[in-house]
Structure formats: C-alpha cells, structure tokens
Structure 1
Amino acid sequence: MNRKWKQKILYAPLVTGLMFMSINVAQSQESGVDVKGKITELEKRISGLELLKQELQSLKKSLEEKEQALAVKEEKLDTEIKSIKSLRKPVSVKEARPSTSWHIAGYADVGFEAISGEEKDTFVAGKFNPSFHFQFKDWIMFESELEIATSEDGKTNVALEYSQLNFLLHDNATLVVGKFLSPIGQFQERLHPSWINRAVNMPAGFGHGGVQPTSDVGVMLRGGISATDDFTFTYSLAVGNGPRFGHDEDELELEGFGRDNDSNKSFGGRLALVHKSSLEFGFSYLNAGLNDEGGLKPDGDIEPPKKADYRLWGADIAYKKGPWDIRAEYLNAKSSPVAIEEARHVEEEPAEEEGHGGAEPVSWTTWYAQVAYRLSDITDNPTLGKFEPVVRYGEFKVKVDDALTSSSEKRWNVGLNYWAAPTIVIKTGIERRNYFLVSRADETRFQLQMAYGF
C-alpha cells in the first residue's frame, strides 16, 4: 500500500507537467491561428484604405475641375453684371436720388402776460410761422417763411418773413437772391424764432422800432472758409433796397421792401471768426441812403422832403456748447441829414437849411448780454435736467439831436424754461423795464409762453 502511494506521488509531477505542456501547445496553436486571422484582416483593411485613397484622389481631382469651371463661370457672371450695371446706372441714380426734394419746418407759440400799472393782463394768441424748402439737384434751393398772426382787434395778418433763391455755387459760397433775413448781427437771423429765443420777448432795441434790420430785398453772397485747423471764417455780404424813414423822427422802417423808393442801395453784411470750441466773434456793418420826397401821407399828414445818410455797425460774441448758451451783442446806428437842393423861384420860400435836409440827426444804441444754462449737466434726474435758468440784461437808447426819447430803457429778464422735448419749451419769466425818462412809468411783466419748433 505504501509502495503504491509512493509511485503515485512520483508520477504526479510528471503527469502535471505533461498537462501543462499540452495546454501550452494548444494555446500556441490557437495563437498562431489568431495572428493569421489578424494579418488577413489587416491586409483587407489596407486594401480598403488603398481603394479609399484612390477614391479620395479621384474626388479631389473632380472637385478641382469643378472649382476651375465655377471660377470661369463666376468671372463670366461678374463681367455680365458689370455690363448690366453700366447700362442701368443712369436709371438707378435717378431712382435713388430724385432731381427735386422738399421739406417743411417752422414754429408756433401761445402765451400769457400780466403787466403792472394800467396795462391789462392778456392771453397772447401767438403766431404760426411755417417755412418751406424746395431743392433742385445740388445747385438751387428755394426757401420761404410766412408769419400768420392774430392782431389785437381779432384780424388775421399774414406777412412774408423771407422768400429767397439760394444758388449753391460752391462748398464755400452761396448766392442768395430775393427777400432774406438781415445778416446784420446774430439775433434776427438765428435767434428770433420763439422756440430758439431763450426769453419770452426780444431784447430791448431788437424787433419793430429797434436798431437791427429785420430783412432786406436784394442779393447776398455768403459762405465759410477754414482759416486754420482751429478757426473758420464766415462771411455774409449783401446789397439791397435798404431802410426807409419811419413816421416818427426816432424810427426807421428796417423791413425788406419789394421796391426801392430811390436809387440808393444798402451795402453791408457780417464777418465772423468761429473757433472749434464753439466760440464765435462777429462784426457787422451797413451803409445806406435815406430819401423821402414828402408830401401828403395816407394818414392825411403833410411831411417835408427828407434825406439822410445811414450808418450802422455792431459786434457780437456767442458761445453755444453743451448746457451753456452765452451771447452778447452791440449795435450802433446814426442817421445824418443831408442838404436837399430845390429849384428856387422868387416867390418861393428858401430851401431847407444847409446840412439839415428836413430831417433830424438821430442815433440808436442797443446791447444785451444773456446767459442760459441747462441743468442736465449737473443732475441725473430726468425731470430736473430739463430745466434751464435764463438771465438777460440790455439797454436801448434813442437820441434825436442828443435828446433821449421815451423809448429809451434798461431791461432785465429772468426766466426758467422747461424743455418738454428737444423743440418744445415752456418758458416762464419776469421782465423789468426801467425807462430813462421819468415821464414814463416803469413796467414789470410776468410772462408765460409755450413754443413749438417743428
């Protein structure tokens, strides 16, 4: 028994080794089969890749041929499009930019005024001023403004503020023909619309009965030229029918007249230098002859003939940038009588005194300074930012033979404006008029106005 177990123990390793050898041989056989299969599979894949490479090369060649053909077609199409555009160019320009264009603008206002003393408080009907602009191509433009207002007795008055043709000769020159706003000074031409004027009324000495001409009929050349990188030079030179004697000695009619009552023409204009900071300095001059044959007037008065030389000069300054609007203007005018030569007969009275000419020497002087400031520069509040305080002071003096007339005055304006929109303003103000002559009582006016520019 023991012998048998010993034999078994001796044979066990041998059997175990034979078993492992059999397993390794089997595995080696199986591994060889797997390698062959993998090699076969790789050969198939390589063959597929070669075919794919050939297909890609074929496709690349086809794409290159198509791109070449497409480039030829695109070049041909571009040539055809350019040809078509060249044929349609006149029509396209005409359709995109018509020969004529027009535009309407203007302003209107209403208000209330309470006046101290014997004057009556009153609502002011205001006025409506439409302006029309018609342009033909780039060389001529017609513009005109009407003033439609209600008079004190309830009638509707229509006046022609200006009506002019503008010939756009050059970027630096425009020829104006017709009735145009006077270029003398800056207020009448730039600031008189109620929604632009920061106060309710005009400054003392401006407007009817004042110093500054409102308009003229004639021809004017105007434009601007860059003097340096910082300064621009602007000019307005005009020849017109000029002013006429007024009914009173201390007044002239400074509106544009459709016909001249004599052969004397007015010559004048304004030259200005504008800095890039929006600071502007201007100088104005006007020279005209005044002639009135006298005789029976429409109101029944008989007036002697009058003749005089009229000279006006002035200077102005303006700064308009951001919230600031600062302006000042000075005008000085004189009417000097000229002797009138008359035919003399024995039975006639002697002619007018030499150098007097039937007219009195008259001088007019006016100036004002104004500051307006929009609060939007100091507050982010949308409501407070729309308010604008305004202060203006001016003086107006009229002398006949060195004697002041009753219209001479000092005028204070203090106001607060509210800009409901960029062109809609509600203005409140107090205006104090102190007259130089004690015979005329001073006035205080409380004013309210709403003006709308469009």
Structure 2
Amino acid sequence: MPVLAAQDTPLLSGGLGLLTNTNGGTTSYQTIAVPVLEAPIGQHLLVESRANVLETFSPKGNGQGYSHSGFLGLSYLQADYIATPHLTVVGGYFLTPFGTYNERLSPIWISNLQDAPLIYGIGTMGSGSGTGGMLRGNAHSTETVSISYAAYFSAGSTNKQFQSLRSTGGQIYAYFPKVRLEIGTSYGRTLEGTESNSFGVHLWWELAGIPLKIRSEYAHGAHSQGYWIETDYRLSQIHGADSLIGRLEPIFRLQQTFRKSPDASDFLPSADTQRSDFGLDYYLPHEVRVNTSYSRQFSSTGNVNVWETGVVYRFLFPAWKGKLR
C-alpha cells in the first residue's frame, strides 16, 4: 500500500505575532513574522533557515504620533549533513551554540516571555549567529544518560544579512531521562579585536507527572556576568489541558546581571541590574497563544516597570504536496 513520503517533503513552519511593550510609560507596537524552512535533500542532507520580518511602531514623544521602522533578516541559513548517527556536519550561517536560550527558546511560539534574558549577549557573539562550520551530535546514549555536544568555528562577516564575529567555542550537556534533568556547560572565544572568553552553565528540570518546568542559566563574560532562573506551571491538571483553567500557564523569571567594566558589545545593562518577570500565558485552540507579563527592573540607572502583551500564532504545513510511493 503506498504511503505519503512526508519525510522527503520540505516543511514551512514558524509563527506570526502582534506584540506590545510598555516600558516606563511608553508603549510601542510590533508585528512579526518568523517563517522557518526545513528542506530534506535525500537521506543525509537537510537545508534549514529562519527569517525575521518586523514592523515596529514607536511614539515620537510630545504627542507627535508614532515613528515606523521595518526589519528583514535571517537568524540562520545552514546545510546539515548527517554523517553518522553520532555526527552532523553543519555549514553556513548558524545559531551560536552557547547556553540554551539562543537555539531552543528564542522563537516567539516557544518562549514564555517576550523579552530575552538580560545575559543573552554573553557568549552569543553579538548577532547570536556565526558564519562557518559546526560539528554536533550525540556522543553517548543509554537508558540512564544521553550526552550531546557541539563545536563551531565562525569567520568574521560584515555582510548585512550574515553578520558575525570571528570566534570559536562549543557546548556539552548530559540528559538524565529517568529524572528528566539536563545539565550542561558552554564556552565561547572571540578571535578578533580584543580576544575574550565566555563560559556558561545551565540546568533544566521537568518534573515527572507534574507540568512544571524549571530552567536556569549562568554566564560569565569578559566584562559582565549574570544568571536567570525561570519556572512555568501549566494548570492542565485542573479539569484537563483543554479546560478553561487548564489552558493557563503562570510563569516567573528572576534574573540578575553584574557589570565589572564598561562594554557596549555584550549588550548587557551598563550597571548591576535585577529584574523579576511575572507572566500569564493562555493557550487557545488552533495553535494560538496569548502572552501577558509584568516586569519590575531595579538598577542604579533607574527603576522601571515593563508591561507586555502579545498574540502568537504557530503554523506548520508542507511546502508542496508529498508524493506517493
């Protein structure tokens, strides 16, 4: 009996969002489209890419209306060659494998909160992407532990669509399936200008039998360091995941950064900063989610309240009809 060869069909996925941000009493609006392409070529080669299309409307001040700006760019465009069950060779423009947020949580349909952690700039080499090559895969896997790795080299690039610094680094992490715990460490080194090192550690824990997740990271750079810890609890145990209350997901994130010396290239706050984020997401049918959050940020440069809301739609469909075989 013929079956649809879905594994050979390119997929288009991604998210659409309408976001608002009120920071210190000033509100801006943003529409965003994040298409993702996954195109397999035979059994060993995969081409994948993610783009960002943004339209931002910000108040001019003094009641003069809103200014408008647009952005179109790629997060990554890479080819993955699956050499062996333990090795994938990556070439092109890829997400820097440092920590967990950049590769796993940055898409708008995945992240619980609208803003990235304050320490996001440490280890991600500014743009969050590299131009070059990477080796990654699973080094060892048993019923008790799975060990994965990634190692990369990035060339310097000033191309508008493929900006990156000359750098190298990687990460290794272990997952313990019986307790649903992951621990890992990351390293990055900038090889141009003033060379510098960054390192980080992370811990993720998803409790068995309870829809509670705990995620945390610590990162240390040449001029700053900090941490974040985030927890979310889906209320699906109350009358089921599709009930009125079961669609709710409260979120809390605590984060701190510590500035050692001035440096604008890591994009962290210019002074020691502490921030608490309180979120409440609501999952609607048909892959639609409503995000709301309130944040309070404390710093010697000034304390501020941040209110954010967003509506995000997640889509997935084949690029064209699959063939029967």
Which TM-score band applies after superposition, normalised by the shorter structure?
0.7 to 0.9
Pair 1:452 & 2:316 matched: no
Q: Does 1:375 align with 2:235?
A: yes
Aligned match for 1:274, one of 170, 175, 182: 175
Partners of 2:131 and 2:157 within 8 A in 1: no
* Displaced runs of 4 or more, over 3 A: 95-100, 225-228, 378-381, 404-408
What one-letter code is carried by the residue in structure 1 that aligns with 2:20? F
Give the alignment's Cα RMSD to 1 decimal. Answer: 2.7
The equivalent residue for 2:147 is 233
Q: What CA distance in whole angstroms lies between the structure 2 residues aligned with 1:425 and 1:237?
A: 35
In the TM superposition, residue 229 of structure 1 has moved relative to its aligned partner by: 2.2
Task: Specify the SS of the correspondent of 1:201.
Answer: coil
Structure-2 separation of matches of 1:270 and 1:243: 23
For 1:98 and 1:114, the matched residues in 2 are separated by 43
Paired with 1:416 and 1:333, the residues of 2 have a C-alpha distance of: 32
1:147 and 1:202 mapped to 2: Cα distance? Answer: 16
3-state secondary structure, aligned to 2:236: helix
The alpha-carbon deviation at position 317 of structure 1 amounts to 0.7
1:408-423 superposed matches below 5 A: 408-421=272-285, 423=287
Over 3 Å counting, the alpha-carbon distance change for 1:99 and 1:396 in structure 2 is closer
Structure 1 vs Structure 2: percent identity of aligned residues?
23
User: What CA distance in whole angstroms lies between the structure 2 residues aligned with 1:189 and 1:368?
Assistant: 16
Give SS of 1:376's match.
helix
User: CA separation in 2, counterparts of 1:410 and 1:115?
Assistant: 16
1:282 and 1:397 mapped to 2: Cα distance? 22
Shift of 1:398: 2.7
Question: Which of 132, 144, 152 is 2:37 aligned to?
Answer: 132
Alignment of 1:220-259 (within 5 A): 220-241=134-155, 257=163
* Residue correspondence of structure 1 range 44-83 to structure 2 within 5 A: none
Code of the aligned partner of 1:166: D
| Distance in 2 separating the partners of 1:102 and 1:178 | 19
CA contact (8 A) 1:211 1:366 kept: no
Are 2:193 and 1:333 aligned?
no
Question: Is residue 257–residue 269 contact of structure 2 (8 Å, CA) maintained in 1?
Answer: no
* Candidates 390, 394, 418, aligned match of 2:251: 390
- Counterpart among 311, 316, 321 of residue 197 in structure 2: 311
Aligned partners of 2:262, 2:95: CA distance in 1, in Å? Answer: 31
SS in 1 for 2:49: strand
- The residue identity in structure 1 corresponding to 2:32 is K
Question: How far has the Cα of 1:242 moved from its partner?
Answer: 5.6
Q: Contact 1:242–1:256 at 8 Å: present in 2 too?
A: no
2: distance between equivalents of 1:422 and 1:330?
35
Structure 2 counterpart of 1:113:
21
Task: Describe how 1:407-446 pairs up with structure 2 within 5 A.
Answer: 407-421=271-285, 423-435=287-299, 437=300, 440-446=301-307
Q: 1:325 to 1:405 in 2, by over 3 A?
A: closer
Q: Is the 8 A contact 1:279 1:318 kept in 2?
A: yes
Secondary structure, counterpart of 1:199 in structure 2 = coil
> Aligned partners of 2:186 and 2:157: how far apart in 1?
16
CA–CA separation in structure 2 for the residues paired with 1:331 and 1:165: 29
Q: TM-score, normalised by structure 1?
A: 0.60
CA distance in 2, matches of 1:99, 1:451: 27
Superposed, 1:98-177 pairs within 5 Å as 100-116=8-24, 119-122=25-28, 124-152=29-57, 153-177=67-91
Q: CA deviation at 1:100?
A: 4.8
1:315 partner amino acid: V
**How far, CA to CA, are the matches of 2:307 and 2:7 in structure 1?**
50
Structure 2 regions of 5+ residues with no counterpart?
58-66, 316-325
- TM-score normalised according to structure 2 size: 0.82
Residues in 1 aligned to 2:246 and 2:135: alpha-carbon distance in whole angstroms: 40
1:2-48 deviation digits (Å, cap 9, x = unpaired): xxxxxxxxxxxxxxxxxxxxxxxxxxxxxxxxxxxxxxxxxxxxxxx
Instruction: Select the structure that is richer in strand.
Output: 2
Match of 1:324 in 2: 212
What is the DSSP-based 3-state SS (H/G/I as helix, E as strand, rest coil) of the residue aligned with 1:178? strand
Which one-letter code corresponds to 1:121 in the other structure? T
Looking at structure 1, the residues matched to 114 and 195 of structure 2 have their Cα atoms a distance apart, in angstroms, of: 34
Higher relative contact order (CA 8 A, sep 6+): 2
Q: CA deviation at 1:450?
A: 1.2
- The answer to whether the 8 A contact 1:238-1:267 is kept is yes
| CA separation of 1:227 and 1:410: change in aligned 2, threshold 3 A | same
Indicate if the aligned counterparts of 1:425 and 1:451 stay in contact, CA closer than 8 A. Answer: yes
Q: How far did 1:99 drift?
A: 9.7
User: 214-223 vs 381-390, which deviates more?
Assistant: 381-390
Change (3 A) 1:310 1:225: same
**5+ residue gaps, structure 1:** 1-91, 245-254, 292-307, 335-362
Greater C-alpha radius of gyration: 1
Q: CA 1:377–1:405 in 2, change beyond 3 Å: closer, same or farther?
A: closer
* Alpha carbons of structure 1 residues 96 and 243: separation in structure 2 relative to 1, 3 Å: closer
User: Match of 2:163, SS?
Assistant: coil
1-side partners of 2:254 and 2:290: how far apart? Answer: 21
